[in-house]
Structure 1
Amino acid sequence: MSGIGERLLGGFAEAFGGQPALVVRAPGRVNLIGEHTDYNDGFAMPIAIGQETRVGFRAGSGPLRVTALDFGETDSFDPANPERVGGWRDYVRGVVDQLRQAGIAVPGGELAIAGSIAKGTGLSSSASLEVAVARVILESVGQSLDAVQLALLAQRAECDFVGVRCGNLDQIASAATTLGHALLIDCRSLALRQIAMPADAVVMIVQSGVVRGLVDGEYNRRRAECEAAAGILGVASLRDADEAMLDAARGRMDENTYARARHVVTENRRTLDAAEALEAGDLVRMGALMRESHVSQGKDFGITVPFTDALAGLMNEAIGKDGGARQTGGGFGGAVVGLMRKDRVAAVRNAVLESYRTPSGEVPLICIETPAAGAGPVA
């Protein structure tokens, strides 16, 4: 049994006695390319990672009692009437609220949560939690949703209950990925394309040590700026714009709005090109697109920070031409993702450990990943 599995079962027994009737895991994700495109109806290409959230549930009567083992905190509420209280509790309550609105009679009982995804690092701990809670409750009452519908329910919990106007990328990545594959997501049609990772390629995730939060307004502000640009262009979303349209309308936009739109328009193109490159095993082209994406996130979208810029720069130098690195996630810190040949891992790791320190002066956390499977029950 994995460490997280032991921790979950031990924590459940200590909090509630006995064992959960069902355990579900939901992975975090790292986005290879396609940042802030999801809520613009565009394209993104994440992989699921080995870091995950596990939820154990035992249905019963009365309130829903919850223990978050990583925080040493608890919650208890009426599943027929979840109310906002803030913090991690709202992610659980928001999922219950959405299930209730979908006509699911959510039972009371006991629910324990354990995770291996560091919070605020850009690897979608919140989406993983939402998907795991939704899946375990549905399984426990004999109901099911397909992976995309499950993800959309989890997304609504975060948008409507928690208050982060997120797109659907993170939840879809957690719910619908396939072992060994990246996932190209059309965030408008919800069409999914599984893309096999080249056999000799690996993903390195390095934590910058700059922890960011999304409910502080910056994420929602970027979304509003994109919506303003789409309005000026006269399109439903920036998915419908191209670079020629954007340049023609430049005189009607302030520089900030123009730059935000340019990132999204060019990032959509890069993501589609990257899917073709990855499918062909062309890490040279894929790496060039990742580097371009990082520059665009900083120059046009204003979401990189000096620490992630420095980290991406030294990783790109160490990776060489066969691959690339970029800031991943919502921005303003978090992780940098690198794609490289397996034979470059040691050199890149050494370069990071020798040359980079977090804001607190510590060596960064480095993880090596290959694409994991999406959410599901744990045997």
Structure 2
Amino acid sequence: MSDFKSIFSTPLEVEAAAPGRVNLLGEHTDYNDGFVLPTAIPQQTIVQLGYSADQAFHFYSHELKEQVDWQPSGTTPAEFARYLVGCIRSLEETGISVPPLNVFVASDVPIGSGLSSSAALEVAMLRGLRSLLNLKLNDVQIAQLGQQAEIHYAGVQCGIMDQMASSLADPVHMLFLDTRSLDRQILDLPENSEILVIDSGIPRTLAGSGYNQRRAECEAAAKQLGVKALRDISDPATVESLPEPLRRRARHVVTENNRVLEAKQGVSADRFGELMNASHASLRDDYEVSVPGLDQLVAILQQTPGVFGARLTGAGFGGACVALVQPGQAETIAHQTLEKYQQQGFQGKILVPESDRSIR
């Protein structure tokens, strides 16, 4: 097994880690200045840093078995290294000088499942740089720098939710976040419940184009309604005058924000599950970001005893589903669900609780 010393032959100076996240409620609301309710997942990305023996940066991914060498005068590299370079450049834009480094990355955060592997990498890298260089950065600033890295160097016009969740959340609480003000609150999960996340096995091939289209539709809806963002509308009836599909897009955002605000007040596991079910229906019908396989997986979960509620999580068009289930039942429910899902011609995998087992 490779490690920092065997790859770089230089001393390891610091190690930092950050988790992926799953969003329980509040999908496609963050870029509308709205409210979200994510939690961290147990899987983490670990970044190890040491000083380079030359004037170049050297990045190594343990999972990809790939090394990227980068000269600061060169262009931004591709793949995983672009996120690391983005973090370095974002720091430098604040006036902080970053010396040439060796960077070793290891991660068990699933890639391409909508669990924010990129945010985990950014936050872990920035935490490592904070420690190595003794920087006075708080956790919100870490998240903001990670978001800038993703927007400007990875080319993803993301909201702030993923980086804030990776930087501030933990796996046993929910993070309520107002994405406009960044006001936040750590909340308990509904009593007598636990979280189950299953990868649908459907790649998110349309997420990029669909995401950008939905974002543009929301901006158009807000403009027609005369508000800065759809978060400024709280009554769903207000959007009924909009032309299609703007009416349905706006209705999802308004009702989704209301679901998050209700959950924030503290509700039972049964009620939280109802809110999750309503969220999926809204994402499927009004926002149109689900696909048949995701709908099948969610329907199986919703019909399984011990499941309070289930929905797609992440941008949609594939990826993962999240469910709230009775405590101690997640593994059993997951295997029952995956067996039925396989019978319908799909291949899924348990992501949380941590498992690399799938129905083959």
TM-score (norm 1): 0.87
**In the alignment, what sits opposite 1:349?**
334
Q: Does 1:231 align with 2:220?
A: no
Q: Distance in 2 between matches of 1:82 and 1:205?
A: 40
The equivalent position to 2:59 in structure 1, one of 49, 57, 66, is 66
- Residue in 2 aligned with 1:373? none
Q: Secondary structure at the match of 1:76?
A: strand
Match of 1:75 in 2: 68
2:98 — aligned with what? 106
1:217 aligns with 2:216: no
- Taking a change above 3 Å as real, the CA distance of residues 37 and 358 of structure 1, as seen in their structure-2 partners, is farther
Structure 2: runs of 5 or more not aligned: 355-360
CA distance in 2, matches of 1:361, 1:229: 36
Counterparts of 2:177 and 2:248, CA distance in 1: 24
Match of 2:311 among 315, 319, 326: 326
Query: 1:88 Cα deviation (Å)?
Result: 2.1
- SS of residue paired to 2:106: strand
How many residue pairs match? The answer is: 352
Query: 1:297 maps to which residue?
Result: 283
1:22-41 correspondence runs (5 A) = 22-41=14-33
- Look up the SS of the partner of 2:301 in the other structure: helix
Q: CA RMSD in A?
A: 2.1
Match of 1:338 among 291, 306, 323: 323
- Deviation of 1:299 after TM superposition, in Å, equals 0.7
Q: Identify which of 38, 45, 51 aligns with 1:46.
A: 38
Partner of 2:358: none
- Of the three residues 245, 254, 269, the one matched with 1:265 is 254
1:214 Cα deviation after fit? 7.4
The 1-side partners of 2:165 and 2:253 are apart by 20
Q: What residue in structure 2 maps to residue 241 of structure 1? A: 233
Q: Deviations over 1:162-191 (max 9, x none)?
A: 111110000000001145211000001101
Residues 302-313 of structure 1 aligned to structure 2 (within 5 Å): 302-313=288-299
| CA deviation map 1:225-257 (0-9, x unaligned) | 11111111111111112323212x32xx3x122
Bigger CA drift: 212-221 or 99-108? 212-221
Give the counterpart letter for 2:246 in structure 1. T
For residues 78 and 86 of structure 2, the distance between their equivalents in structure 1, rounded to whole angstroms, comes to 11
Whole-angstrom CA distance in 2 between matches of 1:144 and 1:168? 21
Deviation of the 1:153 alpha carbon: 0.9
Q: Deviations over 1:280-332 (max 9, x none)?
A: 4x011100000000011111111111111111111111145x62110001111
What letter matches 1:29 in structure 2?
Answer: R
| CA–CA separation in structure 2 for the residues paired with 1:22 and 1:358 | 47
Secondary structure at the residue paired with 1:173? helix
Amino acid at match of 2:273: G
C-alpha separation in 2, matches of 1:216 and 1:46: 21
Larger RCO (CA within 8 A; separation ≥ 6): 1
The aligned residue for residue 86 of structure 2 is 94
Per-residue deviation, 1:361? 4.9
Distance 1:330 1:231, change over 3 A: same
Separation in 1, partners of 2:305, 2:76: 45
Alpha-carbon offset, residue 90 of structure 1: 1.5
Once residues 316 and 60 of structure 2 are traced to their aligned partners in structure 1, the CA distance between those partners, rounded to angstroms, is 29
For the Cα contact (< 8 Å) 2:113–2:199, is it kept in 1?
Answer: yes
Q: What is the SS of the residue equivalent to 2:349?
A: coil
TM-score (norm 2): 0.92
Q: Which letter does structure 1 place at the counterpart of 2:319?
A: G
Aligned with residue 116 of structure 1, among 78, 93, 108 = 108
Which amino acid counterpart does residue 288 of structure 1 have in structure 2? E
Query: 1:221 and 1:77 mapped to 2: Cα distance?
Result: 34
Counterpart of 1:142 in structure 2 is 134
Partner Cα distance (2:237, 2:262) in 1: 18
